[in-house]
Amino acid sequence: MSKQPPREILSASAVVPVMAIDDLSTAVDLSHALVEGGIPTLEITLRTPVGLEAIRLIAKEVPNAIVGAGTVTNPEQLKAVEDAGAVFAISPGLHESLAKAGRNSGIPLIPGVATPGEVQLALEHGIDTLKLFPAEVVGGKAMLKALYGPYADVRFCPTGGISLATAPEYLALPNVLCVGGSWLTPKEAIKNKDWDTIIRLAREAAALKPKA
């Protein structure tokens, strides 16, 4: 099976929710709520002990979701998330061994970068769809505008410190496909299984997608 193009994956949603799942029993209902609200592309991070199992479960039980993995930091994790059913992987940073593994992987790797040097490392390995991380800390919109000059063909999913209020300014930039955000999955709502709140937050985020 050929890889789904990373830009197609990221363009499916205005916002990619960064999901740190602590309780496996909430994973499927949470994902259904996000998809119902119009957010199909999901990044399930490996920050929690059940992250990998959550990817496996969501990939199996939520057919309309585009399930991806986040916080992938080495080639072994990249292989593990692919085996679990993820169709894309996002890393917080990039190094040589991960870049090489991404080239040979059956799913696209969308690595995190924070500098022009890291953009060039990614390009050297044929990767031109990236995550700017941590976006607000490394210059946010100003950094993306600066990178557009020398790297006009590169596209980004800025993540880190972005909110519903600031997302539109990022989405208006020509080199931004979507933004990553954790505000769609507040811990209290998940703990209380308040799926109506999650659906509402997803709908607000989905409405940010520019009209084609």
pLDDT tens column, 63-92:
999 999 999 999 999 999 999 999 999 999
Q: What is the average per-residue pLDDT within 106-125? A: 97
pLDDT greater than 90 at residue 115: yes
pLDDT greater than 70 at residue 135: yes
Active site annotation includes 43? yes
pLDDT greater than 70 at residue 158: yes
pLDDT greater than 60 at residue 49: yes
Residues 181, 163 contacting (CB under 8 angstroms): yes
Which of 82, 131, 141, 204 is catalytic? The answer is 131
Q: How confident is the model at residue 3 (pLDDT cuts 50, 70, 90)?
A: confident
Q: What's residue 209's pLDDT?
A: 81
pLDDT greater than 90 at residue 211: no
Q: What is the average per-residue pLDDT within 125-146? A: 98
Active site annotation includes 131? yes
pLDDT greater than 70 at residue 201: yes
167-186 burial, b at 16+ Cβ within 10 Å, e below that, comes to: beebbeeebbbbbbbbbbbe
The per-residue pLDDT for range 30-39, each reduced to its tens digit, is: 999 999 999 9
* 212 or 209, greater pLDDT: 209
Q: What is the average per-residue pLDDT within 173-202? A: 97
Q: Would you state the structure tokens that stand for residue 209, as one six-digit string? A: 């997608």
Exposure on the CB side of residue 185, measured as CA atoms within 13 A: 26
Mean pLDDT of the chain: 96
